[in-house]
Amino acid sequence: MTQSAAAAANVTPLKPTPQASATVVALPQPKKSLFDARTKTRALELAATVVPPIVTIAALLLLWEMLCSSPSSSLPAPSTVISDTWELIANPFYDNGGNDKGLGWQLYASLKRVALGYALAAVAGVALGALVGGSTWAMRGLDPVFQVLRTIPPLAWLPLSLAAFRDGEPSAIFVIFITAIWPVIINTAVGIRNIPQDYKNVAQVLRLNPIEYFTKIMLPAAAPYIFTGLRIGIGLSWLAIVAAEMLIGGVGIGFFIWDAWNSSRISDIILALIYVGAVGYVLDRLVALVAAAVTRGTAAS
Amino acid sequence: MSKPFLKIEHVDKSFSRGAMTNEVLKDVSLEVNEGEYISIIGHSGCGKSTLLNIVAGLTEATKGVVFLEGKVVDEPGPDRAVVFQNHSLLPWLTCYENVALAVDKVFGRSKTKAERHDWVMHKLKLVHMEHAKDRRPSEISGGMKQRIGIARALAMQPKVLLLDEPFGALDALTRTHLQDQVMQIQTELKNTVLMITHDVDEAVLLSDRIVMMTNGPSARIGEILDVNLPRPRKRLELVSDRNYIAARAAVLKFLYERHRFVEAA
Ligand SMILES: Nc1ncnc2c1ncn2[C@@H]1O[C@H](COP(=O)(O)OP(=O)(O)OP(=O)(O)O)[C@@H](O)[C@H]1O
Ligand SMILES: [Mg+2]
């Protein structure tokens, strides 16, 4: 490098072009080593995020295995769980009619209920939140009602909805709806109340009509808040569906767990819990991913 | 006798919260002709932004009226485009989309899609920002944001352009550069402009008249100075111009001798 730089310095006064060729010779070297260093740091970063959880999980499994391996223990050890439930793990989509279906079908049934109830809650929640956030009178009238209703535990709604709908399916969906809607309403309202005056001024100067204002200013400006509410909502929905299904019966991961308990299949319960946790995690990440994609650029000003 | 283009007539403004009333503006009257460039200068907090917002229709005057071409101003509208003190671009839109939002709203009926696109590009070109059209406000510098703000305002083809300290938050070099651009645009488009500023040189350089406001509370127009400098004006040549020096001295004298900024206790 020093050589080529010196050469360039020597040549430049005579001809202006060699400078360029000198740079071409000099550049590739650092570029290559830089690339190597970058892949190395990236690999290290990946290892730093992946290795600690693997170590923790392995340690926990080991502890569990040791605590539950004695024949007198009331809960099965991990090795027993796997051998007991191997049929279920290997065939997630078998169907023997009635409630006797693979875990894939059970989860699918639960997810379908959550999808419907959550979608309704998202739409109604954003609309009601916009109303409460946008109008002082709507806020004064509705906010106290919301604050009381949102403290009611999800399952407490179930008997009432069973009485109203006279059927388990719509009742479960209603429980999801009523569980997920409060954080969506409240966060949307906060987001809309926090829209900077600047954006409202722009809208006024442009004379945006209410519909244009809603779609072009309100929704994008409140999007980070709305997604916070949606993310809390999906978590609560998944919590509520498992509990609700235990009571309404039929196909669904909640009733599967309850059924396993009634027939003392403890290993099945543990497997189902792991699946419930994994699905809950994936749902949360999904909403977070959508949020990140939609609100890109909104946070910074 | 021709009527003035923009007329501010005996405007008072007070803000009240409960029993407390804060009188900001008291009996402000001003007449502006078409194509005139007016600067409003005064100490911080005297009510300049309030006055501009009243002309924009964003704030309602407590007393008095604003007329534009003989019609009473009672709501905001694109005929009085504002470049806000803090740019106010929408962060989720690209620079192009920020300008296009205004163009689509104002010319949605009167121009075809292709014409509107050309119009947006022309305004971006006017402020030398066509290269950054696909970037978001968070990805460009403060000066660039302010230029997009100006492009958006110009794109509305307003009758009056309202500038609230458009260069206030910028460094001296960028400010100089933008002032030159605004002067150039002004010679081309001959807009009627009302500009708020803190900067004496900026006021003298750009304006046909300088409106000097007294300190609040109950601020009024203290003096109006005519700037008799031929256009186009060249920054460097003006430095030694007698009229320029006199105008500058008059404004400084008003601000720092007769209406010294009094710190609130
Ligand atoms: N919405 C409001 N409610 C109550 N008081 C207000 C409101 N807007 C402005 N004021 C008051 O009016 C006065 C003038 O404010 P204004 O923003 O017009 O000042 P300014 O001259 O633009 O100041 P600066 O140069 O710092 O921007 C201030 O004392 C401010 O406290
Ligand atoms: Mg101001």
A-chain residues within 8 Å CB-CB of B91?
A: 297-301
For residue A95, the SS3 value is: strand
Give the structural domain span for B257.
Answer: 1-79+160-172+191-264
CB atoms within 10 A of CB A162: 18
For chain B, the domain total comes to 1
User: How many A from CA of B19 to the centre of ligand 1?
Assistant: 19
Residue B61 CB contacts under 8 Å (≥ 6 apart), including other chains: B11, B12, B13, B25, B54
What pLDDT score was predicted for residue A33? 61
Cis peptide leading into B217, omega within 30 of 0?
A: yes
Q: Please tell me the distance from the alpha carbon of residue B74 to that of residue B203, in angstroms, as a whole number.
A: 28
* CATH code where residue A149 lies: 1.10.3720.10
A53 touches chain B (CB under 8 A): no
Give the structural domain span for A249.
Answer: 83-295
pLDDT band at B265, cuts 50/70/90? very low
For residue A199, pLDDT beyond 90: yes
For residue A15, pLDDT beyond 70: no
Q: Please tell me the distance from the alpha carbon of residue A66 to that of residue A87, in angstroms, as a whole number.
A: 24
For a mutational test of ligand 1's pocket, the pick from B46, B196, B218, B259, i.e. the residue with the most ligand atoms closer than 8 A to its C-beta, is B46
Find the mean pLDDT for residues B163-170: 87
Find the mean pLDDT for residues B110-136: 93
ipTM: 0.88
A-chain residues within 8 Å CB-CB of B75?
A: 204, 207
Asked if residue B129 is part of any domain, the answer here is no
What pLDDT score was predicted for residue A10? 42
Spell out the long-range contacts of A258-264 with Cβ–Cβ below 8 A and sequence spacing 24 or more: A259/A99
What pLDDT score was predicted for residue A18? 42
Amino acid at B34: E
Lowest mean pLDDT among A77-81, B65-69, B214-218, B250-254: B214-218
Residues with CB under 6 A from ligand 1: B 15, 22, 24, 42, 44-50, 216
Chain Cα centroid distance, residue A48: 23
For residue A8, pLDDT beyond 70: no
For chain A, the domain total comes to 1
Tokens 């005064």 sit on residue: B42
Cis peptide leading into B232, omega within 30 of 0?
A: yes
What pLDDT score was predicted for residue A297? 59
Written as six digits, the tokens of B262 are: 């009094």
Asked if residue B84 is part of any domain, the answer here is no
Q: Which of B104, B93, B75, B85 is CA-nearest to residue A204?
A: B75
> What does the DSSP 8-state code read for residue A299?
S
Asked if residue A23 is part of any domain, the answer here is no
Find the mean pLDDT for residues A253-273: 93
Asked if residue B39 is part of any domain, the answer here is yes
Asked if residue A36 is part of any domain, the answer here is no
User: Which bound ligand lies closest to the C-alpha atom of B24?
Assistant: 1
Between residues A98 and A198, which one has the greater pLDDT? A198
A107 touches chain B (CB under 8 A): no
Q: Please tell me the distance from the alpha carbon of residue A99 to that of residue A69, in angstroms, as a whole number.
A: 32
Q: Average model confidence (pLDDT) for chain B?
A: 90
The tally of CA atoms less than 13 A away on the side-chain side of residue B89 is 33
Asked if residue A158 is part of any domain, the answer here is yes
Chain Cα centroid distance, residue B262: 25
Q: Which of B35, B38, B75, B36 is CA-nearest to residue B55?
A: B75
Find the mean pLDDT for residues A287-294: 91
Q: What predicted TM-score, i.e. pTM, was given to this entire model? A: 0.79
A209 touches chain B (CB under 8 A): no
Asked if residue B87 is part of any domain, the answer here is no
Across the interface, whether the CB atoms of A297 and B82 are under 8 A apart is answered: no
Across the interface, whether the CB atoms of B105 and A205 are under 8 A apart is answered: no
What pLDDT score was predicted for residue B235? 86
Distance from CA of A207 to the nearest CA of B (A): 6
CA-nearest residue to B79 within chain A is: A205
* CATH code where residue B40 lies: 3.40.50.300
Asked if residue A125 is part of any domain, the answer here is yes
What pLDDT score was predicted for residue A279? 96
Asked if residue B138 is part of any domain, the answer here is no
Q: Please tell me the distance from the alpha carbon of residue A300 to that of residue B122, in angstroms, as a whole number.
A: 28
What pLDDT score was predicted for residue A35? 67
B-chain residues within 8 Å CB-CB of A298?
A: 91-92
Written as six digits, the tokens of A191 are: 């987001």
Distance from CA of B204 to the nearest CA of A (A): 29
What pLDDT score was predicted for residue B150? 92
Find the mean pLDDT for residues A253-272: 93
Asked if residue B153 is part of any domain, the answer here is no
For residue A239, pLDDT beyond 60: yes
Pick from A205, A216, A295: CB nearest B78? A205
A-chain residues within 8 Å CB-CB of B79?
A: none
Q: Please tell me the distance from the alpha carbon of residue A252 to that of residue A102, in angstroms, as a whole number.
A: 10
Asked if residue B33 is part of any domain, the answer here is yes
Q: Which of B91, B169, B148 is CA-nearest to residue A300?
A: B91
What pLDDT score was predicted for residue B263? 54
Asked if residue B47 is part of any domain, the answer here is yes
A291 touches chain B (CB under 8 A): no
Across the interface, whether the CB atoms of A205 and B80 are under 8 A apart is answered: yes
**Contact predicate A298/A238, CB 8 Å:** no
Lowest mean pLDDT among A71-80, A189-198, B214-223, B254-263: B254-263
| Angle, CA of A225, A227 and A230, to the nearest 5° | 120
Lowest mean pLDDT among A16-30, A200-214, A227-241, B146-160: A16-30
Across the interface, whether the CB atoms of A201 and B106 are under 8 A apart is answered: no
DSSP per-residue letters across chain B = -PPPSEEEEEEEEEEEETTEEEEEEEEEEEEE-TT-EEEEE--TTSSHHHHHHHHHTSS--SEEEEEETTEEP-S--TTEEEE-TT----TTS-HHHHHHHHHHHHHTTTS-HHHHHHHHHHHHHHTT-GGGTTS-GGGS-HHHHHHHHHHHHHHT--SEEEEESTTTTS-HHHHHHHHHHHHHHHHHH--EEEEEES-HHHHHHH-SEEEEEPPSSSB-EEEEEE----SS--HHHHTT-HHHHHHHHHHHHIIIIISPPPPP-
Between residues B263 and A116, which one has the greater pLDDT? A116
pLDDT per residue as tens digits for the range B8-30: 999 999 998 888 889 999 999 99
Strand duo B6-17 + B20-32: pairing: antiparallel
